[in-house]
Structure 1
């Protein structure tokens, strides 16, 4: 007779064992497990980037040509296109979430990305390379791989000019989708057929019935025009009366600059200096330098009158390397 917790312990052990064996199997089997693909190997980002085109078939990679070769050898059609970057362009970190987040991890990370990294999700190409469920601790362990879009934009633009459109970034732990439109003939055929069917349906509509409907609508508009004119005059009078009140309300919604300045002075640490501060239409922007810019988001999130603080540009170091240069945007609440 099995003990009460035997099945649960066995499931936890199996989940752990699979998470440990997955990278080991990848190392043992090597490229034989990788799909056939055209690989754009970047040695140095551009434009123009330096690198080569590789063809992977049945796990074996073959050199086709350099990226800037006058005549590149063509690859078989319909192969997926992967982009392989230098290691210094790919960033990764381990993160831990509650186990319940496993149902919709990508949506959760989409909203929490600016808390986990100095960037918002729209500023990154990102993907999850591995995950492990710790049911005993009720935790989900993930490895997040990211590439800032700004770092890759010149290279992608140059590749597009050369008619090279990668769909994924391939790295040692997995792949990151680039969200770049790729050719999908079957989907395009379906969409084309749907458009043709829709056009035929529109042409088959009874035009005479539409004309009668338009005439009836025109008659109703003409009959109600006097009442509409009176209503418009009343609306204009009400708008003029409320304009002053609306102006006061709009100014109040933008926030009290002195109160916001006092809150920032209290929240920001002594090792932080602001070079520029502006408040416009309820949006607060600030530029400056700090010994540790990454912690500023958490500090500003705790300010009652500020909401959704985030970096508007990558954090960089000063010339002397003693401080971080940052640019932050936040919404001001009432």
Structure 2
């Protein structure tokens, strides 16, 4: 039987067997759980309230001196368990037990909260740091928004310049190319055609040895690639070969957008003779030659052959 049912059964039995009036009746019981499965033995105490009050009154001075509060009335049963008689100091103990239980629950709850706080403190610190970082980043964005907008405008303004730079990087200075060819071509080589398209140069003319010419041009600084798109031909009875060569120029040396102060640009040097000077001297009229004052043959410098003419 459950505990409430046992109490009701005991109360019914006590009231039917009690020799005391109901107002004077005091009772209590003990029902240990370590009994056989066939049943539980219940030990019941029945007494008179007047008798208990008379005894407590006779022992009041001793009881008050020892505890200072209203005592409880217990009866030690045969199994050694106390049976509490209701109506005296057990209410104070019950209230104190409730208070102690609540304090214990509060302490347990506090301990659980502290443990949870200790477990969550690293995560909370990381979250606080992340929130601070986000706030600092947003503040930095607000502070630098004007600079970022100006940078975007500046970047957009550089796009046409970059496009122009890329276009000019594919263009070369023709005079510099002609000066480099004038230096590199041997005396027995003459150019009949020169075509420049971006960084690609195509030349054709006459030379005594086209293979040697290719090797000579390949060793010129700034000529990245020298190749013959077709084989050189020699006419019957002629002592020169017709050649056609394609040259890829280095933009660091020949591009219009090269850095003038770079070592590669400085090493290219200036042409010794302007490409048009030799041609103009060869095209001079006999009248102008006759009008010039005659100089001794020993003092006249030998004219250098132009690499861009077909004359001997």
TM-score of the two chains, using structure 1 as the length reference = 0.28
Q: Greater helix share, 1 or 2? A: 2
TM-score of the two chains, using structure 2 as the length reference = 0.29
Q: Greater strand share, 1 or 2? A: 1
